[in-house]
A = this chain, B = another copy of it.
Amino acid sequence: MSWKGVFPAFTTKFTANDTLDLALFEKGLQSQLDAGVDGLVLGGSLGEASTLTTQEKETMVKLAIEIAGPVPIVLGIAEGATRDAIKQAALGKSWGVKGLMLLPPMRYKSDDRETLTFFKTVAQSTDLPIMVYNNPVDYKIEVTLDIFEQLLECDNIQAVKESTRDVSNVTRLISRFGDRYKILCGVDTLAMEELLMGADGWVGGLVTAFPRETVAVYRLIKAGMLDEARAIYRWFLPLLELDIHPKLVQYIKLAEAQVGLGSEYVRAPRLTLIGEERERVLKVVKEGIATRPVLPELQFAK
């Protein structure tokens, strides 16, 4: 499992009847593969995981594995009880996923000792490679550098989804752990800054609607073509900002629908956008589409 490159946090496609829209799921997923993504995350917040049944997760994961071939499928785990997280990890393994994106406990602000114990316990229950999702803004619990120090003994904890919003954390992680932990930026609007400072990858949101542009930014940065990368990134930023809003799911699904890669349907308690809010987001999306930059030929290896 190589934690490197662009990993879309893939959305769940619903029909008007609130069931899985597998045809659209396949179409959207194929667009990601065509653009050259390096992995795919299912069952994250963007996937509306908190509203999915286990059966639905299984269906999507198995279909994604079939379509994606060698591109690894990563399963998000976000549970309130340690034993439920362990159970979910085992299910993911049985479904064939190649890695886990493991969140801290849901609905309880564990302290450092509890957070450490939680991650260790789940990691020791599986041989799947794990990316720890560190997002104290949305989930209150910060996985500190000291916790990461103590997690070094878990060989299968291999990567960090860095969503603290503190870009200095990339430098801190590298200074302390070298490349022991791969660092994937988890906040679209900070991706270029963090990749420039040495992050290995990008767990993206808007990539589900704009896969080619996302992959281009990533590869240009890695190729040292900063002027070209900055030009695309400046165009991209108003769209990427849709990723840092509580309604990122609806916003990104609206963008997906506009480019023909998804639909606006969400599952309750989420509601589809209406009125002024929908117009405002739609304006951003349409301006983005209207001014889409010509991408440089990316004739270089990943």
Contact = CB atoms under 8 A, between A and B. Distances in A.
Contact of A117 (B109, B192, B198, B271): B271
Interface residues of A, number: 49
B118 A268 contact: yes
Interface in A70-123: 78, 80-84, 105-111, 113-115, 117-118, 121
A175 B270 contact: no
16 contacts: A45-B107, A51-B83, A51-B84, A83-B268, A110-B269, A110-B270, A111-B247, A114-B271, A121-B268, A168-B190, A171-B230, A174-B234, A175-B237, A193-B197, A198-B230, A224-B226
Interface in A201-237: 224, 226, 230, 233-234, 237
Interface in A240-272: 241, 246-247, 267-271
Contacts of A193: 167, 193, 196-197
A178 to B, nearest CB: 11
A133 to B, nearest CB: 13
A172 interface: yes
Interface of A: 45, 50-51, 78, 80-84, 105-111, 113-115, 117-118, 121, 167-168, 171-172, 174-175, 189-190, 192-193, 196-198, 224, 226, 230, 233-234, 237, 241, 246-247, 267-271
Contacts of A110: 269-270
Contact of A109 (B197, B198, B230, B246): B246
Contacts of A234: 171, 174-175
Contact of A168 (B111, B175, B230, B237): B237
A117 B171 contact: no
Given A105-B269, A167-B167, A167-B190, 8 more contacts: A45-B107, A80-B269, A118-B268, A168-B190, A171-B233, A175-B237, A193-B193, A224-B226
Contacts of A198: 230
B81 A267 contact: yes
A266 to B, nearest CB: 10
Q: Which 4 A-B pairs have the closest CB atoms?
A: A50-B80, A82-B268, A51-B81, A105-B269
A210 to B, nearest CB: 16
A24 B213 CA distance: 54
Contact of A111 (B50, B105, B109, B246): B246
A51 B82 CA distance: 8
Q: Which of A81, A121, A241, A269 has the most CB of B within 10 A?
A: A269
A106 B196 contact: no
A196 B193 CA distance: 8
A230 B197 contact: yes
